[in-house]
Structure 1
Amino acid sequence: MEMDKMTDDMASPSNSQKTVSDDDEIDYSVKPEFYDSDIDDKDELWVQKKRKGGTSDAVLSCPSCFTTLCLDCQRHEKYVTQYRAIFVENCKIGSDQIVHQKEARPRKGKRGRESSEHEATPAGKQTVKQVCCLVCSTEVGVIDADEVYHFFNVLPSES
Structure 2
Amino acid sequence: MIAAGISVSDDDEIDYSIKPEFYDSDLDDKDELWVARKRKGPRTDAVLSCPACFTTLCLECQRHDIYLTQYRAMFVTNCVITAKMVFPQGSKKRRKYRKAREPVEAEEASSTSVEAVRQVCCSVCSTEVGVIDKDEVYHFYDVLPSES
Fold match by TM threshold 0.5: yes
**Aligned partner of 1:126 among 91, 115, 119:** 115
Q: Which amino acid aligns with 2:23?
A: Y
The answer to whether 1:43 aligns with 2:31 is: yes
**2:135 matched residue in structure 1:** 146
Larger radius of gyration: 1
- Residue pair 1:103, 1:126 contacting (<8 A) in 2 also: no
Cα distance in structure 2, aligned partners of 1:52 and 1:103: 40
| Alpha-carbon offset, residue 147 of structure 1 | 0.4
The answer to whether 1:20 aligns with 2:8 is: yes
- Residue pair 1:64, 1:138 contacting (<8 A) in 2 also: yes
**2:77 matched residue in structure 1:** 89
**1:31 matched residue in structure 2:** 19
Cα distance in structure 2, aligned partners of 1:64 and 1:15: 42
**2:85 matched residue in structure 1:** 98
The answer to whether 1:80 aligns with 2:68 is: yes
Q: Which amino acid aligns with 1:99?
A: V
**1:108 matched residue in structure 2:** none
Q: Which amino acid aligns with 1:139?
A: E
Which ranges of structure 1 fall in alignment gaps of 5 or more residues?
1-13, 105-122
The total of aligned residue pairs comes to 127
TM-score when scaled to structure 1? 0.75
Q: Which amino acid aligns with 1:130?
A: Q
